[in-house]
Amino acid sequence: MDASHPYMKTNLPLKEKSLLFAPMEGVTDSYYRKTVQDLFKKWDFIATDFLRIPSVGLFPQKQFLHHIGTDIYNTSYMDKTIFQILASERSLLEEHLLLLKQLEINWLDLNLGCPSKTVCKNKGGSYLLSDLKILKKILKTIRSSHKSTFTAKIRVGFEDDSMFEDILKLIEDEGVDAITIHARTRAQLYKGIANWDYVKQAVKISNIPIIGNGDIWTTKDIDNYFDYTQAHSVMIARGALKTPWLADLYYNNEEDTIELRIDHMKKYYSSLYEKMQLIHKDEKIRIKRLKAVSRYIFDPIEQIKPGTKRSFLLCQNYEQMQDVLNSI
């Protein structure tokens, strides 16, 4: 790569065409991330679910450590961890950034895409895409405090895409190292198909790396995404929930056969369940959590054995879940 290439001027610790496991609220907590990193080692990075910076009261440092995972902090797991925060104009941002600085967090990501009514009502997440004055203030505050990698994950707009290019320019001008684009507006939520044209457009007009996100489900989708958009890297959310080993398939040039899927699913649920046993003593909580990450993963199996997913979701304990998996 030529030394004058704009990517050389950022702090982004990524080779081009990297694969990132997206932040997902209620999913990518510490034991889930540890499960993925233990089993499926080809993911280049995996993001925490967002931590909402409060507007009243300071989090103790142990709150940040809990969010990261006390058994992850200061280990090799941190080498592939993105720490995502959610902030608003009222957030006590400077004070909490000081705590993060003390923890030497290498990669900080700002959530500008969350479409939640509650989050937007409190003027955080994707709401900030509608108020660039407040957004600029928040970006400036973070950039002035955090000297390591700082990225932002956005949608293409709040109600519409009319400010898309203005948003990109503002984020770049404030010294952000890369932008991840979920190619829908907030108003679209998760409806329809993500429009990859926005990512393609952003790549053409931006001088910092653009990471694409939205409707990437298979290894073929990954190749098509890179070919069409020329994005620096991709971040995968629902596709990663459907196939948590997707990065392994892609880098190893493997086919996602039913046999491979069943084998991986058994290891995946077993590892996640074992890690939760150390945190949640209540069996009901563990079972509920396993069901919560099962929305998409059974889809290919349903094509050959309909009703498997329903049987799994009706299970009352882990032994029953194992029986369902063993019966496929």
Q: Which residue has the higher pLDDT, 115 or 45?
A: 45
Residues 6+ apart with CB under 8 A from 172: 179, 206, 207, 208
Enter the tokens of residue 23: 């932040």
Report whether pLDDT(294) > 90.
yes
Q: Are strands 51-52 and 233-236 parallel, antiparallel or unpaired?
A: unpaired
Q: What is the pLDDT of residue 15?
A: 95
Banded pLDDT at 189 (limits 50, 70, 90): confident
CA pair distance 78, 67, nearest whole angstrom:
12
Q: What is the pLDDT of residue 1?
A: 35
Banded pLDDT at 8 (limits 50, 70, 90): very low
Q: What is the pLDDT of residue 177?
A: 97
CA neighbours closer than 13 Å in the CB half-sphere of residue 125: 21
CA pair distance 19, 227, nearest whole angstrom:
15
Instruction: Using alpha carbons, select from 146, 82, 137 the residue that is nearest to residue 111.
Output: 82
How many other β-carbons are positioned within 10 Å of the β-carbon of residue 74?
12
**Domains of the chain (ranges, CATH numbers):** 6-252 (3.20.20.70), 258-327 (no CATH)
Q: How many helices (H) and strands (E) does the chain have?
A: 15, 9
Q: What is the pLDDT of residues 49-95, one digit of tens each?
A: 999 999 999 898 899 999 999 999 999 999 999 999 999 999 999 99
CB 106 within 8 Å of CB 13: yes
Q: What is the pLDDT of residue 251?
A: 97
CA neighbours closer than 13 Å in the CB half-sphere of residue 325: 21
Q: Is 255 exposed, middle or buried (0-12, 13-18, 19+ CB in 10 A)?
A: exposed
Q: What is the pLDDT of residue 188?
A: 87
Average pLDDT over residues 192-210: 95
Q: What is the mean pLDDT of the chain?
A: 93
